[in-house]
A and B are shown apart, each in its own frame.
Chain A
């Protein structure tokens, strides 16, 4: 605390700081350790597993067998990555496009019917039609087993729509007006004036949508039956949570000529492989999320 420095700190202050640092450091370790354990488990070879037993926090030899298996045998995994990439890229693009277009309209105070539209959105924030009716709708639209079932049903998030609307509403009216006078239409104004001025909010909301798509599994698990269109999260659930060791050996490790890596190693490798992109990008994107969180909670 800056204010503490204006007056010379007492000894008790140093003691307090010391304790605080220790507790916070331990907490930080608690946040990291689960990842580290899984990471190190993913490098344990079957030889070491047989020799040292199963709790190995520091493998003596970093063994990439599990990853090799996943990359070579795992056409399932590679394919799942493609599906996930599709929903992150195409899904997020659709999300942003439709969210921005609706937000731009309802940010305009003079539009007849604006309150009606906003009310319509609000009602969906407090009342949910329910799992089965939603499922039946997607089914009757013929979206079952289509990759679009991961895009359309969640096209616009009402909360993020409102955040975007509030951002648009802050843009000075005069900027748009001058463009209208020059003969531009609403589409051009949105594209040429509003969007460039709103890059921070597009980055934030876009990231929210992208992470949401990356992490989503439930929609795919109910809407998609075949394995070829399943995203990485569902494949991961199947391998990590549902499969017995025996199933795992038969499906993923079947054609291994040598001794396959232990099941725990393969499971850990799957977790790492499907989390890595987010973990690597996260430090760079973190500040946008925090900004978005604060914007959204102050005036959401």
Chain B
């Protein structure tokens, strides 16, 4: 914008005073609801008790890294780290390629209408809430009338309480996660595929390349970039193994294989009210997660991609 108000800092600020007024609410939101909790992290280095009152968060004396040391030494440390990485890793292993395969298959299909309908239906699970997902899972796997157990019974087998069995629990998490996100995840690959130059295929066909070779030498390279970037970002979120999903579906009998950092923080913090200790555990996660995100983003930038910011 030109002139009006001069170019001194004060002049520019005066010119934009209405803009500042508009932004004030949003800025205040970030300060109160995002930055005050960051200050609240200091209770990880204190000993704040549930009934101390809110000012204890500020006034309690610092006690150093006691809570962290207790956490590192506890039995839970390796257990929840292992569970987090195992569940997250499995979801990555199966959940990452699934949307790519779906996109490739949709891209090859001839019928426009068929494609549209398939896409629309495949996006649907993305829009249901985690509670509905958990409800569907527990209904289908229920011991009283769940489809799977009814089929087992028809073949003369014993009813299985799937959600209470450690050996099935992670599979349930991964399968339901892939089911929910596969269709929606394919959008970005389909968008990338639609940008592929059709002349490349025509040239390849003239050269005698079959479908498999076309996929290998034209289709995949044309979306390789997107695949790599999506993978890098997926790795950045490795510590998020699916808090809500697990919280809704797990029970003490499967804690051994499903208790992740987030669920542990929730139980210790909000159920057992060990405020300081659970904040320390949460901070441990936040710091590693931040390192992962910033690191993977830098990697993405190095590859010439804009990164997520």
Chain A residues with a Cβ under 8 A of chain B: 1-4, 6-7, 12-13, 16-17, 20-21, 23-25, 27-28, 30-32, 34-35, 37-38, 41, 53-55, 97-99, 101-102, 104-106, 108, 110-113, 117, 120-122, 124-137, 139-141, 152-153, 155-156, 161-162, 173, 177, 180, 185-187, 190, 211, 214-218, 222, 233-234, 236-237, 240-241, 245, 262-264, 267-268, 270-271, 274-275, 278-279, 282-283, 286, 289-290, 293-294, 297-300
Mark B183-196 against chain A: 1 for CB-CB distance below 8 A, else 0. Answer: 11001100100000
Determine whether the beta carbon of B136 is less than 8 Å from that of A271.
Answer: yes
Which residue of chain B lies nearest to A211 when distances are taken between CB atoms in the complex?
A: B127
Determine whether the beta carbon of A1 is less than 8 Å from that of B150.
Answer: no
Residues of A within 8 A of B57 (CB): 136
B81 within 8 A of partner (CB): no
| Interchain CA distance A105-B109 in the complex, whole Å | 45
B265 within 8 A of partner (CB): yes
Determine whether the beta carbon of B19 is less than 8 Å from that of A104.
Answer: yes
Residues of A within 8 A of B145 (CB): 41, 54-55, 262, 264
Mark B18-29 against chain A: 1 for CB-CB distance below 8 A, else 0. Answer: 111111011101
Chain B residues with a Cβ under 8 A of chain A: 1-2, 9, 12-13, 16, 18-23, 25-27, 29-30, 32-41, 43, 54, 57, 102, 105-111, 114, 117-118, 120-125, 127-132, 134-136, 138-140, 142, 144-145, 147, 150-151, 154, 179, 183-184, 187-188, 191, 198, 201-202, 205, 210-211, 244, 247-249, 262, 265-266, 269-270, 275, 278-279, 282-283, 286, 289-290, 293-294, 306, 308-309
| Interchain CA distance A69-B302 in the complex, whole Å | 60
> Contacts A130-B41, A267-B139, A271-B135: A102 and B27 contacting too (C-beta < 8 A)?
yes
Between A and B, 30 residue pairs with Cβ closer than 8 Å are A16-B108, A35-B124, A38-B135, A98-B25, A101-B26, A102-B23, A104-B23, A105-B22, A111-B16, A112-B9, A126-B293, A129-B38, A130-B40, A131-B265, A131-B266, A131-B282, A132-B275, A133-B40, A134-B37, A135-B270, A140-B54, A233-B131, A240-B134, A240-B138, A240-B139, A264-B144, A289-B123, A290-B187, A293-B188, A297-B188
- Scoring A3, A35, A130, A289 by chain B CB atoms within 10 A of each residue's CB, the highest score goes to A130
